[in-house]
Structure formats: structure tokens, C-alpha cells
Amino acid sequence: ILLAASSSNTKTKGNKINLPPGPRTFPIIGNISLLRKSSTEIEAILRNIHRKYGPVVSIRIAHRPAVFVADRTLAHQALVQNGAVFADRPPAAPTNRFLSSNQHSISSAAYGPTWRLLRRNLTANILHPSRISSFSNARRWVLQLLLDRLLVTSSDITSTSSTNGVCVKEHFQYAMFCLLVLMCFGDKLDEPKIKDIETVQRRLLLRLRRFNILNFWPKITKILLRKRWQELLQLRQDQEDVLAPLIEARRNKAESDSVSDSESESIVCYVDTLLDLRLPADVKEREKEMSRKLEMSEMVSLCSEFLNAGTDTTSTALEWIMANIVKHPRIQDKLYAEIKQVVGSKQQEEEEEEVGRVVVEEEDLRKMAYLKAVVLEGLRRHPPGHFVLPHAVTEEEVVLGGHAVPKEASINFMVADIGWDPSVWEDPMAFKPERFLGNGGEVVEMITGSKEIKMMPFGAGRRICPGHGLAILHLEYFVANLVWSFEWNYKASASADEVDLSEKQEFTTVMKYPLKARLSPRSP
Ligand code: HEM
């Protein structure tokens, strides 16, 4: 079937429709070198291709067409207006298939009953606002941990008269990691255990690019690059060795709670929801009308996905936002004034009782429009991912912007460029939170892109990031408390202008020169 993604054009009338334009197929050597390039390099190549061939282009990567879309209206036509057609994922490459337990994770699953079940479980049982609020104690604990670490590090630096400033990246990453671990495995884990989990997860994440080559002619590379495959197997084994006992512990707890009918700890963590889940029957089992529980390796893959999806993405966004706050003292002053207006009176009461500095609570955030605007501008100007995860179409051949998108093609969207479109945003590369405030000072929301896409840091449509509400809560909560607790300046003696906003590709698009800031505690 030829299905059109534009509302005016639903079927082709027998005419042959071609793939989107693009450079001639890369030769094999070109293909391998493309696999080795970081996505920043691929992004730069793609920008040139778009300049030459238009908003929808195609190239060949590892024998498959890869389509890229750089236009917000076409992105809306595809992801929102024809959401179901563009909601599939391409078949996973061998290393991803292995790590996702045969595409049994939310992000890798094909569009169908397994994906629907896994995604609904996460959104209804963990990311629903009522469930998110059950973790507010965990957030308060982690906030204190982060503030203490920053205080100790900044006073160490002051006492040695170093002019280096605090490098905040690692502290932000650790804080986000703690939060996601507690939501995943329950809020009773101590710091050493969290560190163990972080070590195995990070080791795997940082080496992922090294294993890309195994996806190229897998039958041959499996033999020729046997050691590299073994390295991947070992990293996965290390991950299972750390995560599986934590999953088992929750299973045992659930069983003993049901025997003793205990209602002591009612907080439901992600693992608890996975233990009860029943996967729809696959083709063989369907004949016997069976469904089955998740296997341990599948639960490990889902927990790993949960941790990876929610940590570096959010901590990267936090670092970019704080970098802009340091770079623009005017924005910091305005934000501080807003926070003071909301929590200042509470602070005065505490001072009378000599309790010390209050924290900005979650319910206070609702009253802070400028804070929301700062976070949105951070996500627009510095989206942690410059692409979404590769999509695929569910029909044999689909037409987008007058070009064919075949079923075997992957399709992706230039997220960063769409948020920097000069026809939508005035002076798009400048950091101006005010652009998100309406005339009455209210926030103009545009995160989901359901009416039209002006930015898409979380994607759009059926595969939109299910964690966007949680991510925004984490960002608002931490930005508010970081600005409320410290005055942020660039290094010890340099001027604020020196914050360098160059980019570099890691798991996300990070600051090439991680933010180093001089932190002065605000007086109670
Ligand atoms: C600032 C933080 C975050 C950003 C920028 C972000 C961005 C994204 C993007 C761009 C996608 C791909 C959408 C697509 O393929 O069309 C995605 C998918 C996903 N994200 Fe996030 N994310 C963030 C935080 C989180 C959090 C906190 C969680 C969960 C706890 C999460 C869980 C997921 C999952 C499970 C998917 C796969 C969805 C699917 O395939 O159906 N993310 N995210």
C-alpha cells in the first residue's frame, strides 16, 4: 500500500515515487567510516546534505535507506497526523537485539502489543503524577546529597585558593542516577549500592560505540572480532550480576509482604510493576493461548533502559541550563527574585526559629512561570538528543513530502535544527526564556507538539518520551534549588562571558568544556 503522510495526498495513483534525494550510495568503505562517526559528525554531514537536497533526504547506512527530516511541518505530518504509521522501530542491530533481550524494551520494541503493554505499565504505574509524587522523599534526600557535595567541593576549592571552580557534571549525573535507581529498585538503597549500579551501567554505556562494528556483516565479525563480542557478553554479565539480585530482593519482599499482609512500605517501584506483568503470547504460544511472565534478562534490560533513559538526558539538560544561568547573570537575578517571592516568607519564619535555609518544595514550583520558561528554553536551545530514536513505518510504502519511505528504511528527525528554525524563533541561537512567556506572564507550553511542532526535545506522537513530565519536574526542582542555595559565577576571577557553549557527543550532546562554576552559598 502506498500511504501518504500528507493530508492532501493519501495514495499514489500507480506512479512510481522515489526515495528522498541524497548523495549516491556511500561505497562500503564510506559505510564503515559512517558507522564509526559520532552523531555530531553525522549531524554536520546531514546538514550539508539537507542544504543541497531539501528538507527530506536519504542516505544508505549498512545497506538500508536512512531517511532524515529537517522540517517541522513534515515532522508533524509524520509523527502526529499519521502517528500510527510512523510509530514502528527498525529491526534492531545484533548488539542492540542482544542488550534489549530481543527487542523486549519499550524503546526498541516494534509497534504492537508488547510495546503497548510495556509502555502502559511504565506510564500508568510509575510516571503517572500520583506515582511520581510518592517519590518526593527520595527527591528531597537526593537534593540534600547534591547540595552537600557542592558545598564541600566549593569550600575545598576556596580553602586551597584554587581558581578552577567546581566541575558540576559528575555531581549532576550522580544525583539523577540516584533518583532513577530509587524509583527503579525502591527507596531503601544506600549509597555504596547505588555506586555499584552506576559503575556497571556507565561502563556499558561508554563502550557502546566500540561495538557498532559488530553489526556490520555480523556473521563475519562474530568470528573475526570474537574478542570484542566476548567483551560485550562480559559487560552484560556484569550488569546482570548487579541488577538481578536487586530484582530478586523485590520479588522476595513482595512474596513475604503478601504472606504477612504487611502494609508497612507502600511505595511501588518499577521492578515491582515488572514482576506482575504478563507479556502477550508470541506466535507459537498464541496457539495455546498462553501469556508469560517476564524473564530475568528481560527485566534487567527494562531496568537498564529506565536508568539510561532518565539519567544522562536530564543531567545533561541541567548542566546546559545552569551554564546559561552562569553566562547570563541577568537571568539568574530574575530567577532568584521569582523564587524569593514564592519561598521568601517561609524562609523568614524559619529564620525566626533559627532552622537555616529552607528548600524550594515541589508544590512551590507551580507558582514559578519564569523558572518554567528557563527550563523550556534550555531544552529548545540545547536538546540533550539531537535526533530521536530511529523510527520505521508500519506500511509497505509510505509517502512523506512527495517522497517514498519504504518499510525497510529507518526515519529520523533533526531535533536540534527544528528547535532552531529561524522562521519560528527570532534570534534562535540566543538564550531568551522570555520567548516562552505570554503577555500575561503565563507559560506558553509546546512540549508535546500535538497541535504543531515548534520544538521536539522529547519527540512527538506515539513514541514521544513517556518520561517528559518527570524530566521537567526534576529540572525545575533542581534548577530552583541550585539557584536558591548558591550564587553561581563563572570560575573565581574570570568574567561571566567565558562560559563556552561548544558541543560534544557522548551518550547525549554534552558541553565540550564541562561547566566549572564558583559557588557562593546564599546566606540564610
Ligand atoms: C531531559 C530528559 C529527557 C529527554 C530530552 C528525553 C528524550 C527522549 C527522546 C528524544 C526519545 C525518543 C522519542 C522517539 O523515538 O520519537 C525518548 C524516548 C524514551 N524516553 Fe526519554 N527523555 C528524557 C527523560 C526520560 C525519562 C526521565 C524517562 C523515564 C524514566 C525516559 C524514558 C524514555 C523511554 C522509555 C523512551 C522510549 C519510548 C518509546 O519508544 O515508546 N526519558 N526520550
- Point out the least confidently predicted range of 9-18, 148-157, 230-239: 9-18
The pLDDT score that the predictor gives to residue 16 is 77
- Measured by CA distance, the residue closest to atom 31 of ligand 1 is 467
Residue 385, all three cell numbers: 538528543
Query: Does the beta carbon of 119 sit less than 6 angstroms from any atom of ligand 1?
Result: yes
Q: What's the mean pLDDT when you consider all of the chain?
A: 89
Residue 35, all three cell numbers: 558507522
Which atom from ligand 1 is nearest to the alpha carbon of 462?
41
The pLDDT score that the predictor gives to residue 260 is 66
- Measured by CA distance, the residue closest to atom 17 of ligand 1 is 465
Largest CA distance in the chain: 80
Q: What was the ipTM of the complex prediction?
A: 0.99
Report d(CA 474, CA 466) in Å as an integer: 14
- Measured by CA distance, the residue closest to atom 19 of ligand 1 is 465
Report d(CA 252, CA 264) in Å as an integer: 15
pLDDT tens per residue across span 349-373:
776 666 567 899 999 999 999 999 9
Which atom from ligand 1 is nearest to the alpha carbon of 463?
41
Which atom from ligand 1 is nearest to the alpha carbon of 461?
16
> Residues within the annotated binding site for heme?
465
Q: List strand residue ranges (DSSP E) for 127-188, in order.
A: 166-167
Q: Is residue 268 within 8 Å of 246, Cβ to Cβ?
A: no
Query: Does the beta carbon of 465 sit less than 6 angstroms from any atom of ligand 1?
Result: yes
Q: How far is the CA of 468 from the centre of ligand 1 (A)?
A: 7
Query: Does the beta carbon of 466 sit less than 6 angstroms from any atom of ligand 1?
Result: yes
**How big is the chain by its Cα radius of gyration, in Å?**
24
pLDDT tens per residue across span 32-73:
566 666 677 889 999 999 999 999 999 987 678 999 999 999
The pLDDT score that the predictor gives to residue 400 is 97
- Point out the least confidently predicted range of 84-98, 183-197, 258-272: 258-272
The pLDDT score that the predictor gives to residue 188 is 78
The pLDDT score that the predictor gives to residue 522 is 93
378: closest CA among 333, 328, 324, 339? 324
Q: Is residue 95 within 8 Å of 212, Cβ to Cβ?
A: yes
* Pairing, β 403-406 against β 397-400: antiparallel
Q: Which residues of 462-497 are buried (b: 16+ CB within 10 A; e: fewer)?
A: bbbbbbbbbbbbbbbbbbbbbbbbbbbbbbeeeebe
With both helix axes pointing from N to C terminus, report the angle between 169-185 and 296-310 in degrees, rounded to the nearest 10.
140
Which atom from ligand 1 is nearest to the alpha carbon of 105?
35
pLDDT tens per residue across span 433-476:
999 999 888 999 889 999 999 999 999 999 999 999 999 999 99
Report d(CA 415, CA 42) in Å as an integer: 14
Q: Is residue 238 within 8 Å of 223, Cβ to Cβ?
A: no
* Span between the terminal Cα atoms of the chain, in Å: 67
- Share above pLDDT 70 across residues of the chain, in percent, rounded to a whole number: 87
Query: Does the beta carbon of 83 sit less than 6 angstroms from any atom of ligand 1?
Result: no
Pocket of ligand 1, candidates 458, 463, 472: which has the most ligand atoms within 8 Å of its Cβ, to mutate? 458
Rounded to whole angstroms, what are the CA distances from 237 to 234, 275, 300? 5, 21, 11
Q: Is residue 55 within 8 Å of 74, Cβ to Cβ?
A: yes
Report d(CA 185, CA 248) in Å as an integer: 10
Q: How far is the CA of 459 from the centre of ligand 1 (A)?
A: 8
